[in-house]
Structure 1
Amino acid sequence: MTTRILVVDDSSADRLMIKSMLGHYTVQTASNGQEGLAILEAEGPFDMVILDINMPVMNGFEFLEIIKEKGLLRNLRVMILTNYDENDNEIRGLQMGAVDYIRKPIQLESLIARIEIHTELLRMQKLLEEEFSKQTQTYNKIYQQAPIGIAVSFNREPCTEDENPYININPMYQEITGYSSDMLRSLGWEALTHPDDISENLRYYERMVSGEIEGYTMDKRFLRPDGTYVWVNMVVSKIDLHVNHKYNHVSMIQNITLRKEAEQRLMESERSKSVLLSHLPGLAYRCKYDEHWTMEFVSDGAKELTGYDSKDLLFNQAVTFNEIIAEEYRTMLRKVWSDLLPLRQTLNAEYELVKKDGSRIWVLEKGQGIFNEEGELEALEGIILDVTEKKRMEENLKFQMEHDSWTGIRNQYSLDKVLTEDLNRHDGSSKALMAVNLSYLHVVTLVYGHHYTQDLIKKIADTLLLYCSSDKSLYKFQDNQFVFYFHEVSSREDILKFAKDLHESLENLLLLERINLGFGVVEFRSDHNTDGDRLMKSMLIASEKGLENQEQLPIIFFDEEMEAGLLREEEIKKELVQITDHINPERLSLHYQPILNIKDHTIVGFEALARLDSTYLGKVSPVEFIAVAEKSKLIIPIGERIIDMALKFIKRLYEKGLNNYWVSINISPIQLLKEDFCAYLFNAMGTYQIQPESVHIEITETVFSSNYDDINKTLGVLKAHGIHISIDDFGTGYSSLSRERELNINCLKIDKSFIDKLTENEENSAITGDIIVMAHRLGHTVIAEGVENEKQLSYLKSHQCDLVQGYYFYKPIQVNEIFDVLL
């Protein structure tokens, strides 16, 4: 989205000139403060306001004061227009919340440079605010490749690394100043500032540090190591790094040495239009609308842009402009002009020029037709700018968008794009997708750390790349998956041989890391009406089956049985969607299994167990439909419905005077990671007037496989409000007794698999006893689930287990039958 700018100035000439200068931004204008305020409130939000101070009806200061009172200034960057003798107005404007000032008469380069700086500042501020929720690697790429210098926490005085641990200076900042990051820190910015600029810089800096202003912008000079100095436009803004840190600010600089030199030359004497145009970037022109684009005026910028002197282009003396337009763009450019001129519209066209030395550059031409009073076209006028670097950056961004940042391999976005194009060809060729699925990578990460896993993935990627060819391409799919795309397949045997070769190459590396490998293949023809998303889903299902099939060659081809499973999953998803849309919501219900005190066998609480009665599939296991809900993100509305039903049940218990029972609700990690989960739960409990001690939350150990700190923090909030937290199926996932000490929980539920083994042998029984002892030492209650016989109960009772549930006492009971048990 382009930057939106509001220009508020009573001078129609200034408004028109500024709007013309900022043609590639979205610009609106107002003739006074009152009109500007109305536009701001009715058509906002805007990113910037260019504000004249001296205006009728409502002046600039009144405008600033009103938008500040209305809270409109917080997300707005205001630049005031002043004259060279209005220093007091500049200071007052900055004190009232403006971030910059522009002196009249307005210079194009100065205006654009400042707009670009503030546009970049807005972008970087957003990036900084989002930094802690984004991947460090993505942030670093943007930060390192930013086209302006950026310095976070650049110290004023010389500092050691220990004294300023937050400093971070990007490569462009180092390139502009000529110093490395370590040298900049050890010297401090004051020592590098030109003596003539120190006073002004310190005055702004001290006002910002004192809290008088939030930031400032100024043009200043940095002394470089070779004794020269570089002019920069610098924007400094406060950021919150640490309460006790001295340098809580970020500064951004752009090299404006050439601009300053041009300004100096302009200030020395009055210049004619041709001299002014000669100092604009690129090439300014006036030409005929003929087959040669015969030039009647060409600025001196022609030499730098094309390699030809301006006199060579004038009136086709040495070369016609048409000849230096790359041949493949000539027809296009002429057609665009022919379409725009009858409509009196402005040209904005990008194309390539061939320079005198034969090299090519990308240019942006902005032009318009000049018509006489009779409406006849007299000439074309415009400017042509070199945008080669911008094009290069676009190509870099495209590469980053289509490739995995760590391995350099094309990513899922790229695969989607290629697959869609191939499917649309309908050429009847046989193709296949083969997923290379790696299991237990998360375990490697937990044991050895993220960087170790990343290096391992890079080694695997390098091995897989060796198997690419003209008819087989490799893509990085998800964290633990790669995909080979077979553009042409002769037979299934070819795929099997290829998978066998891959397996042999990777086997030693993966065996050492205890990682399982599975291949999943989906075969298709491009003449079939096939959906790309469906193909990839089928491939992933087959690859998961491949992981389960750890035979000599763990490969599975997607077949009709898996297709039926996929259709079943889609049917379940459709049913869940209908339930969330309140269509036959009764198909989702809760049954309640009593939980008993092991000493006297009295019921103390219930576990709420979800049940789905499908119209087409009949009764569906919660293991199956909850997995579908989590995969499709429907677990949020489904989970909220389950919570609502459980709270209503507790409310019914209250109404019958049964206030001493609690209900345990199973919660998905996806729900826990939702920012407003705690607020939602507390609000729902408030709606039904439910006490915290009546609500228990059950989570499985798998929630701690990732996002450990975030989830444990959420559990801490729930626990602090009096809600009990239990770990369900303990012993089957990622936790350990040693780690339980760190968790914000109250209770362990021993998985049924441990209870089943109590009747097998003494060794298996001892494990369960040890779990109970260690959990009690950590202050946790212990619940044994799945108790089915007297022997299991006797063992648990002899080892002081606290609570039990299972078929030995009660099966899950429908809600209307609960009260027959309790009353």
Structure 2
Amino acid sequence: MSPPPSEPPPLQPKHSASRLVWIYAAFASLWITLSDQVVAWLVSDPFQLARISTFKGWFFVAITTWLLHTLLRRLLAQITASEDQHRVLLDFKTRRTEALLDLSEASQHMDERGFMQYGQELAEQLTGSQIAFIHLVHEDQETIELVAWSKATLANYCTAAYDNHYPVSQAGIWADALRQRAPVVINDYATATGKHGLPAGHAHLARLISVPVMDGGLVRMMTGVGNKSTRYDEQDVETVRLISDAIWHIVQQRRSQAALRKSEYQLQLVTHNIQDVIWTADLQGKFTYISPAVELLSGFKPEELLGKNLSAIVAAEDADEVRQAIAKVIADHAAGLAFSPLQREIEQPCKDGSRVWIEVNVNGMYDDKAQLIGMVGVIRNIAKRKEQDRLLQLANQVFEQSQEGITVTDAAGIIVAVNAAFSRITGYDRAEVVGQNPRILHSGRQDAAYYRAMWDALTSVGRWSSEIWNKRKDGTIYPEWLAISALRDLRGQTTHFVANFSDLSQSKAAESRIQWLSYFDPLTGLPNRTLLQDRTALTLSMVQRANEPLTMMLVALDHFSTINDTMGHHLGDQLLVETARRLSVSVREQDTVAHLGGKEFVLVLPGTDQLGATHLATEMLGNISQPCKLGDREVSVTASIGIVSYPENGTRFEDLFRAVEIAMRNAQAKGRNTYAFFSTELYDQVLAHEAMTQALRQAIANQELSLVYQPQVDLQTGQICGLEALLRWTHPEYGQVSPVQFIPLAEKAGLIISIGEWVLNQACQDVRHWLDLGIMVPHVAINASPLQFRDNDFVAQVRSALNTSGIDPAQIYIEVTESALMDDVPRNEAMLHALKELGIQLSLDDFGTGYSSLSYLKRFPFDQVKIDQSFVRDIATNPSDMMLVKVIISMAHGLGMKAIAEGVETEAQCDIMRTSLCDEIQGYFFSKPVKMPEIEQLFSEARQLPEHLLRQKKPQRTLLLVDDEANILSALKRLLRRDGHQILTANNGAEGLKILAEHRVDIILSDQRMPGMTGVDFLRAAKALYPDTIRIVLSGYTELQSVTDAINEGAVYRFLTKPWDDDALREQINKAIEYRQVIEDNRQLENQVYNTNRELMAANRKLKDLLQQLQAGQASGPGCASS
């Protein structure tokens, strides 16, 4: 490439034209002025003068034409030459520009040094130089480093090594460009002054251009070219400067890009290999970047979250707070306030639905003009830290809330921490003991050797524990269990000791108490059975050696359980304590009085014979029966006392105690409030009793138990409506044993639950058997003993029996005695509801014979009340019994239950039950209890009550008249009694409700305007309590809206006005009675349909079973079918 042309001198056409004009003007002026004078001087002839003047004019034209031609040709030559020079210069600048543009592309394929060489070669070519070099200047501006020669320089002239550092002060005049911070041009290096010589291996210099590259106010690079064949000019300087600047900027750009790539790579390494999530967001809080760690944290990929708001990745309950916080910092920045970094601990929902605790840090992101352009932050998984905090908090709670005292000391044994239990046990506050030595707690009961052994154990094995005596702040000494452990660091050095201790004062007292309770009764303070046995054995050995008699008494308070149940256990306990005191003051010091628990006391009397025992027993009976003050009541009790003698009735405690129990039961059998001595006859009875109990244990396995059934009859239809299952025991030796005899045995021996379960399963199987025969038994009633009902497995037993038999649960009635319900009312209520949920019916047995409580009874879901035979037995002769029966029936109906009377043995009793509106009867009048075949015969015969004993035979109707005017009641009573109705009257609604509770009422005729309660309100209450009644308003006062509402609600059947027409009123009453009869007939029809449906279901079930048997026979093959 040829060197650049010199810059041509600028061509000035305006000046050239002016000069040409001035030359022409000067010449023309001189010619005109001088030529005329010369001609006038030389020629005087006018003619000749004219010819000469003409010639002179043409000569002037010729001369001026030549002169103008000469000047114009020279001007045109200058213009042409200038244009050629400018064209060459323009071509050079174009080539230089293209070369500069090629630098950027060339840099992409070269390393830094190769690129610098390439740039120097361009400088050489464009300036016509033979050498080119680049030096880098250090930041201190005092040191330079040779970094690049052009290839031609290296090949032909230079052997100097790269990376050669030397101070600027030692550099020659070629470094003046650095010193002067301006280009240096030397066109004669040989004559130049200030040279310091050239470095070894440096190329020879003849001419030189040295150009500094400035950046940031400092010289960063120095570029030079040299040894051009001609002089260097400004164009060469400009070329070197442009190439140098381009090289420097491209190198810097490459370095910046390399640093950026390195930074990005390092950032990528960081963001891909740390568990923290790094993110950026715009000013709306939407993610613009989020690192891959977010997937490990939450299960969401980064691309799933880009564009979403930061508040979208937090729990819903935290989203508003995050949005508000971000909005606030952006608003603060807009207002000119500094960005306040945010930090929140929140829960983040994960992709799988779980949650993880995170810490969100938010900072501002700014551009180079300090303008907020977004947000940058870190999300950190703090689940482990939260868990550590929780464990730390838990540890602190354990430390503070531990019931054991905890002391922490340093390695020197100085207390650094104690917990609340320490202060509670020792009496010292934290402030009083922190910084102290635990010796402040020493009681002085342990010597120095004890503590040396403790420290030896801590030093050798790191732990020690023992029972120790320490001293509280108040000086009291107490026992404690102390355990000390040494805490060691990673180097195995002991840093702390932790002591756990528990106050043994209470446990020591408890041990003493337990030891005392092992031998004494806690209520009375008397010896218990264990101590009684020990003392009896010791006393027997003493009287045996002394050949003396000994008497043992067993004292049992009569009816103590009744006092407990009616007055409360706390008063029962007071009675036992008082009885213990009275017995203790009745005996001698050498005698023993023991309390065995409950109502029984035992006395062991050494040296007392039968006569002395008789006197003492009589005295004790008198003492015990003395009135006793219990709370605000005075109570008198009696006792039954059994007496045995040594050695006649036994020589060991076991023998004597067994005998005294028999004697005490004999005293109870004699009527209580007496004493009885043991006899062999009593013993024989006990043996017989135990033998029968043992036989009863084998009764189920030996198939000695059986069921008989007594029919229950509906008084409306006269038909059998159910059966009661009754248990029988037939023993090979005892024969037929009465239930009255063996049921108490079973209860006492704990057999009643297993026997009751057998009865339940057998009865269900019998119902199944009858269904299979096509006999539809409406229901079977099964008695549940109190013990069986209290069994927690009873409901499961009933469910199992129903499932095994496959019968309809509605075919089973469970009869529960009233006394069994009063023991634990909430539990029993839940039990009854659980039974009802199975679908069975419930019957209340022996109602009125126990502790009756209507407040409890109405909570129980019974379907039926059974009137005990004790009320039925004398009902035909005893008005009180009749009244009680009617009350029970009315109460049952009022509670929505049926009433059944058991023990009905005569027609009179049956008729009374019919007229008393009893629903069902059971007893010998219809049938005694019979076995299954006879039951089947009864159903096949369709046996029923005589028709004249049925309730459906024109029952007398009962009318209740309610009016606050006596004359109205009297007139109505006279009018309506003529039709044979039973008339009841009341003066107001409250009295009317009371009568309804006591009597079965068919029709209610009530006034509307009465004091206290209006007629409509009264009839609404009557409808809620007794929905079967027919309710009529008879009133002269009309409040239309309330009456209309009552009629619409069904509370009022008719509204009649006063005064009334007698015949019209009687007609309305008769219509109401007919309406009532229709209701009853419909109910009876529903019952008949129900029973018929059940019979059809049983027949269908039997038919289905037969079809299945036939199909099974056909499937088994011809051989089986023929057999």
User: TM-score band (shorter)?
Assistant: 0.5 to 0.7
254-263 or 434-443, which deviates more: 254-263
Q: Does 1:519 align with 2:640?
A: yes
User: Which deviations, in whole Å up to 9, do the C-alpha atoms of 1:493-520 show, x marking residues without a partner?
Assistant: 2222112212222323169866552323
1:752 aligned residue: 869
* 1:740 and 2:928 are equivalent in the alignment: no
The amino acid across from 1:655 in the alignment is D
Give the aligned residue type for 2:640.
F
The answer on whether the counterparts of 2:551 and 2:604 sit within 8 Å (CA) in structure 1 is yes
Counterpart check, 1:497 vs 2:792: no
Deviation at 1:417, TM superposition (A): 5.4
Amino acid of the residue matched to residue 576 of structure 2?
I
Q: CA RMSD in A?
A: 4.9
CA distance in 2, matches of 1:640, 1:578: 15
Q: CA deviation at 1:736?
A: 4.6
Q: Which aligned segments of 4 or more residues in structure 1 are displaced greater than 6 angstroms?
A: 87-91, 96-99, 256-263, 275-282, 298-301, 348-352, 360-366, 385-389, 420-426, 526-531
- Alpha-carbon offset, residue 424 of structure 1: 8.8
CA deviation string 1:592-637 (max 9, x = no partner): 2221223343222121112222344332222222212222222222
Q: 1:782 aligns with which of 880, 891, 899?
A: 899
Q: Deviations over 1:219-267 (max 9, x none)?
A: 9xxxxxxxxx994249xxxxxxxxxxxxxxxxxx96367797999569x
The letter of the residue matching 2:788 is Q
- The alignment status of 1:563 with 2:683, answered yes or no, reads yes
Report the TM-score when normalising by structure 1: 0.53
Decide whether the 8 Å contact of 2:898 with 2:919 is kept in 1.
Answer: yes
Aligned partner of residue 687 in structure 1, secondary structure: helix
| Distance verdict in 2 for CA 1:590–1:415, change over 3 Å | farther
Q: Could you tell me how far apart the structure 1 residues matched to 2:843 and 2:634 are? A: 32
Q: Are 2:889 and 2:899, in contact at CA under 8 Å, matched by a contact in 1?
A: yes
SS at match of 1:732: coil
Distance 1:422 1:351 in 2: 41
> Cα offset for 1:282?
6.9
- Alignment of 1:92 with 2:211, yes or no, is no
Aligned ranges 1:261-340 → 2 under 5 Å: 264=434, 283=446
Distance change in 2, residues 1:425/1:687 (3 Å): farther
Q: Is the 8 A contact 2:575 2:628 kept in 1?
A: no
SS at match of 1:477: strand
Q: CA–CA distance in 2 between the matches of 1:98 and 1:628?
A: 62
Is the CA contact 2:821–2:828 (under 8 Å) kept in the aligned structure 1? yes
Equivalent residue, structure 2, for 1:394: 511
- The answer for the alignment partner of 1:795 in structure 2 is 912
Task: Find the counterpart in structure 2 of residue 321 from structure 1.
Answer: none
C-alpha spacing 1:698/1:425, structure 2 compared with 1 (3 Å):
farther
Conserved 8 A contact 2:552-2:603: yes
Structure 2 residue matching 1:810: 3-state secondary structure: coil
The partner residue of 1:692 within 800, 809, 825 is 809
In structure 2, what residue type is equivalent to 1:573? T
Unaligned runs of 5+ in 1: 1-86, 104-109, 118-147, 149-216, 220-228, 235-252, 269-274, 287-294, 302-347, 353-359, 367-384
Shift of the alpha carbon at 1:719? 2.8
* CA deviations over 1:659-685 (Å, ceiling 9, x no partner): 442111111222222223212322332
Provide structure 2 residue ranges, at least 5 long, that are not aligned to the other structure: 1-381, 409-416, 457-464, 470-476, 484-501, 941-1123
The reply to whether residue 452 of structure 1 matches residue 571 of structure 2 is: yes
Q: Matched residue of 2:626: which SS? A: helix
- Counterparts of 2:762 and 2:392 in 1: how far apart (Å)? 52
- 2:444 & 2:721 partners in 1: Cα distance? 80
CA distance in 1 between partners of 2:774 and 2:509 (Å): 73
Superposition deviation, residue 758 in structure 1: 2.0
Residues 696 and 746 of structure 2 are in contact (CA less than 8 Å); yes or no, is this contact kept in structure 1? yes
Partner of 2:558: 439
Change (3 A) 1:260 1:282: farther
What displacement does 1:651 show?
1.7
Match of 2:667 among 536, 540, 546: 546
In 1, Cα distance between equivalents of 2:392 and 2:806: 47
Cα 1:618–1:412 change in 2 (3 A) is farther
- The alpha-carbon deviation at position 523 of structure 1 amounts to 0.9
Alignment of 1:474 with 2:593, yes or no, is yes
Alignment of 1:144-163 (within 5 A): none
3-state DSSP of counterpart to 2:925:
coil
Give the percent of matched residue pairs that are identical in Structure 1 and Structure 2.
Answer: 25
Any idea what the Cα deviations from partners look like across 1:678-700, whole Å, max 9, x if unmatched?
Answer: 12322332222232211111122
Aligned to 1:754, the other structure's residue is in SS state helix
2:794 matched residue in structure 1: 677
Paired AA for residue 743 in structure 2: I
Distance change (3 Å), C-alpha of 1:425 and 1:815: farther
- Output the CA distance in 2 between the equivalents of 1:818 and 1:467: 63
Q: Structure 1 residues 611 and 265 mapped into 2: Cα distance closer, same or farther (>3 Å)? A: farther
Who is 1:814 aligned against? Answer: 931
Question: Quick check: which has more Rg, 1 or 2?
Answer: 2
SS in 2 for 1:782: strand
Task: Name the CA shift for 1:406/1:388 in 2 (closer, same or farther; >3 Å).
Answer: closer
Check 1:507–1:696 CA distance in 2 against 1; reply closer, same or farther (3 A cut).
Answer: same
CA separation in 2, counterparts of 1:276 and 1:351? Answer: 13
Q: Deviations over 1:379-426 (max 9, x none)?
A: xxxxxx997875443121222344443333334454455456767999
- Deviation of 1:95 after TM superposition, in Å, equals 5.3
Look up the SS of the partner of 1:487 in the other structure. strand
**1:654 Cα deviation after fit:** 2.4
Give the corresponding residue for 2:604: 486
Residue type at the aligned position of 1:818: I
Note closer, same or farther for the CA distance 1:628–1:550 as it changes in structure 2 (3 Å cut): closer
AA in 2 matched with 1:578 = Q
Amino acid at match of 1:576: L
Is the contact between residue 593 and residue 607 of structure 1 (CA under 8 Å) also seen in structure 2?
yes
Rounded Cα–Cα distance in structure 2 between residues aligned with 1:516 and 1:745 = 37
Q: Which has the higher contact order (CA 8 A, sep 6+)?
A: 1
Give 1:740 deviation, angstroms: 3.0
Equivalents in 2 of 1:561, 1:781: separation in Å?
A: 49
Indicate whether 1:598 and 2:715 are aligned.
yes
Whether 2:832 is the aligned partner of 1:715: answer yes
Note if contact 1:431-1:525 (Cα within 8 Å) is conserved in structure 2. yes
Which TM-score applies when normalising by structure 2?
0.40
Describe how 1:54-93 pairs up with structure 2 within 5 A.
92=387
Please report how far the alpha carbon of residue 531 of structure 1 lies from its aligned counterpart in structure 2 after TM superposition: 7.4
CA distance in 1, matches of 2:808, 2:678: 51
1:232 and 2:351 aligned: no
2:891 is aligned with what amino acid? M
Q: Write the deviation string for residues 156-197 of structure 1: whole angstroms up to 9, x where unpaired.
A: xxxxxxxxxxxxxxxxxxxxxxxxxxxxxxxxxxxxxxxxxx
- Checking the alignment, whether the CA contact within 8 Å between 1:725 and 1:745 is kept in structure 2 is yes
| Equivalences for residues 5-84 of structure 1 within 5 A | none
1:640 has 2:757 as partner: yes
The residue that corresponds to 2:320 in the other structure is: none
Q: Within 2, Cα distance between the matches of 1:717 and 1:296?
A: 66
Partner of residue 425 from structure 2, selected from 252, 255, 258: 255
Residue 165 of structure 2 corresponds to none
The answer on 1:577 being equivalent to 2:872 is no
> 1:536 Cα shift?
4.5
Query: Is the CA contact 2:555–2:642 (under 8 Å) kept in the aligned structure 1?
Result: no
Counterpart-to-counterpart distance in 2, 1:738 and 1:259: 57
Q: Which residue of 2 aligns with 1:461?
A: 580
Letter in 1 for 2:584: L
Say if 1:499 and 1:519, in contact at 8 Å, map to a contact too: no
Distance of aligned partners of 1:296 and 1:803 in 2 relative to their CA distance in 1, 3 Å threshold: closer
